[in-house]
Amino acid sequence: MARRYVLLLVDGLGWDCLFDAQSNAPVLQGLAAERLQVGLPSTTATSLTSLVTGVPAGEHGIVGFSFRTRDSLVMNTMIWDDPQSPPEQVQPVPTWFERLRHQVRVCAVVPAIFADSGLTRAYLRGAELLGVANEKDWTSRVTGVAMAAAEHELTFVYERSLDHVAHIKGWHSSRWLATLAAIDRFVADLLDSLPANTCLLVTGDHGMVDVPKTHRVFIEDTPVLAADIDMIGGEARLRHLYTHDPASVAARWAAWLGSRAQVLPRAEALAWFGEQPPGEAVIDRIGDVVVAMQGDWAALTWGRPKEVSLVGMHGSSTAAECVVPLLKGES
């Protein structure tokens, strides 16, 4: 029986990515493994919040990478660029850290630059935060996590490099494989360094799809798609479209994209965000039309020019994006 638990969340660690024939991560691949299905959208902010609250996006309210928080604003959750939307109000569901902190000692080991971010306040409330100053110093990180685990019954660890490399280079790239190998060594060192009777759990928040340049649709450059759109949220693989004419927009997008996307008006798309109907505040964040790109297609907007440079993307409903591993090892 484990006396303490360490949960390592590797951003972008999908089941297909980890167990692809090219992947060489013997430690991770050798751990006891189960498949987990993440909710929609299959994106970091949503999945992290679901992980630590135990409820889907329709209940905790983080309905994507970006979504409408006020009539004239689509907020980016990763940088939380709407100061008038406090994280505690946008995401009011108590976290497991808040619920457990009076029974056990809990902490989160995260990059120091995120310690005071809005998203951190939304999903890590209740945990003692331990900042990592140098994410490339793997040896110090192992030592830090081991020390944290010795003093806490539950330790959450966030690792983001795999996701970053996949976005920039693609998950089939040699750089991605090298990053996976570094994380594999990190896990091996953790298993050797954690206190006795510690259970190490490793999982991901989403998988990844490499999107070729020939499969990129630019909304503003396609009149049939751009017509009647007031604001664009979400990300390139799952779009929230805010419009004064949802019926027409949904019909045009569905007809033009065909099998390249699932296009639903909000009323039909609500099931993607959980079994329970979202509350009034959350419903307004979900697009009047929601578009889940299929295969390796993406719908980009020039309103977020950084999207253009991405190779790996996620957010939609494919197995490559939604199935992640749950790996278990013990020190």
Average pLDDT over residues 2-7: 93
The DSSP 8-state label assigned to residue 218 in this structure reads E
Q: Does domain 213-313 have CATH number 3.30.1360.180?
A: yes
Dump pLDDT digits (tens) for 132-170: 999 999 999 999 999 999 999 999 999 999 999 999 999
Beta strands in 93-220, from DSSP E residues, in sequence order: 106-111, 128-132, 154-159, 198-204, 209-210, 216-218
Q: What is the pLDDT of residue 72?
A: 80
Round to whole Å and give the CA distance between 317 and 286. 16
Q: What is the pLDDT of residue 247?
A: 97
For residue 215, what are the contacts with CB-CB under 8 A and spacing of at least 6? Answer: 295, 296, 297, 298
Average pLDDT over residues 248-263: 98
Dump pLDDT digits (tens) for 267-310: 999 999 999 889 888 999 999 999 999 999 999 999 999 999 99
For residue 117, pLDDT over 80 is answered with yes
Dump pLDDT digits (tens) for 15-59: 999 999 888 899 999 999 999 999 999 999 999 999 999 999 999
- Specify the length of the chain in residues: 331
For residue 1, pLDDT over 80 is answered with no
From residue 296, alpha-carbon distances to 50, 210, 313, 318 in Å are 25, 7, 9, 9
Average pLDDT over residues 220-227: 98
What 3-state class would DSSP assign to 205?
coil
Q: Give residue 123's pLDDT band: very low, low, confident or very high (50, 70, 90).
A: very high
The domain locations on the chain are 4-209+318-330, 213-313
Residue 116: burial class (beta carbons within 10 Å; 0-12, 13-18, 19+): exposed
CB 321 within 8 A of CB 208: yes
Dump pLDDT digits (tens) for 226-254: 999 999 999 999 999 999 999 999 999 99
> What region, left, alpha or beta, does residue 37 occupy, with left being phi > 0 and alpha being psi -120 to 50 degrees?
beta
The DSSP 8-state label assigned to residue 219 in this structure reads G
For residue 101, pLDDT over 90 is answered with no
According to CATH, the superfamily of the domain at 4-209+318-330 is Alkaline Phosphatase, subunit A (3.40.720.10)
Q: What is the pLDDT of residue 180?
A: 98
Q: What is the pLDDT of residue 279?
A: 87
71 pairs with which residues across the strands? none
CA torsion angle for 278, 234, 316, 292 (degrees, to 10)?
80
155 pairs with which residues across the strands? 6, 107
In the chain, what percentage of residues exceed pLDDT 90?
94
For residue 176, pLDDT over 80 is answered with yes
Q: Give residue 71's pLDDT band: very low, low, confident or very high (50, 70, 90).
A: confident
For 103, the token pair is 């029974």
- What is the C-alpha end-to-end distance of the chain, expressed in Å? 12
For residue 128, pLDDT over 90 is answered with yes
